[in-house]
Structure 1
Amino acid sequence: MRIVLGMMVAMVLGTSAAACAETSCLEGDCRRGRVGADDEADGAPGGGAEDEVPKLPACTTVGKPHLGLGGVDVAARPNEDVPAGDRARMKPFSALVTDYRRVLGAENVPASLNGAASTFGVASERWFLEPIASAVYVNAAFDVGFEGCNNLTKKDARFATMPTKDTARAACEEWTRKFWSRAATPEQLDACVAVALETTSETVPPRRWAYACASVLAATGFLTF
């Protein structure tokens, strides 16, 4: 009977020791139970490079990817951990249609807007495409913006005369605030004023104003969100 009890106690202690060793190893402390471990703990020489504690877990659980169109993991979320990583994205065509109407007025919406739908990345039914900025995209945005701005400026008596430094800055402040939903920086205002006064050689006042207006509509402040 005593022999049987002794064997059971020995088995329990052995199992506990193995469990402790396994737990400590999972926690990164794999020195226990290895040859030379005690010497290493005391600072004495013992063990080689192969006896060093691993810096990474020996086992890593990795989820199985599910690839969709283009070989992209359908569960992937780009810029998930990047602060403000979901900003400065090009507006889809569906958003631009309503935004041009909002900032220019329904009566001034450019007729060429619908014709530029493919350039702005209009998606097929039940699909979504992430618009990508390109030279063609920006050029189309300027052309559409100029037409809308020209509709606006030729109806407003304020733009019947050539711009001056003061009137150009006032108009640029108004446009940037309305088109971008925020105030422009001094450098951005200077760029807009420069278009009205220096960049274009247009001699017809409303069209000259329209170039400055279109430069604001073709900027990232309006085309992105």
Structure 2
Amino acid sequence: MRYLYILLLLLVVSCKPKFTAQEIIDKSIDYAKLNEIENATISFNFRKNNYKATRKNGTFELVRVIHNDSTKIQDILSNDSFKRFVNDRLVELTEKDKNRYSNSVNSVHYFSVLPLGLNDKAVQKKLLESVVIKGKEYYKVRITFTEEGGGEDFDDVFIYWFAKDNFQLDYVAYKYHTNGGGVRFRDVKQEKIVDGIRFVDYNNYKPLDTDIDFYAIDSLYEEGSLKKLSEIVLEDIHVSAF
């Protein structure tokens, strides 16, 4: 009986994942040196617009500047408000427009520093079964959000793939519900190391068939069943620490 107990104990230990979803994300953040921007300002250009994020002791200010001919539009999202300025004059917005513009600003900044945002309070993490993509082993982590603090799109679902050898984030997929909903998958186009911090450009794909198993999208990627839509490229990245 004693030997049976030891055998069962060994089986339980061997089946237990080596790392939790939280540990994997923390190690990935450390690998990319993203903790260094939690008290810093970063700026970059994306699709002809200028972006700047200032983070300090848990507070943040996320900025987007759009130039249209002689018009300058400045959107500013902070912990507790969203403001739009047109030619340096504050404009009144409906709640619908505030949500729409703030979500647009937040989305670009969110993806620009992944996986840093995965430790926000509203994030729920679950470790899925590991997979192999292009001959390389990956941890697969599902991210969902609580309704409280999860924003307008709290019911979106994300999957992240972290390389087992160094915890590097290489693939991202998400299922969204706004504007009719859809699924997107991203792989790394290029990584850019700025002041030791890892930033990433992505290729952006969608499934050829809309009726798919979202959790099997990595298999569809390997099969070539995804269509490339665009590229997510950050240009002229600068980091200024406090």
- TM-score, normalised to structure 1, is 0.25
The structure with the larger Rg is 1
The TM-score with structure 2 as length reference comes to: 0.24
Q: Looking at secondary structure, tell me which structure has more helix per residue.
A: 1
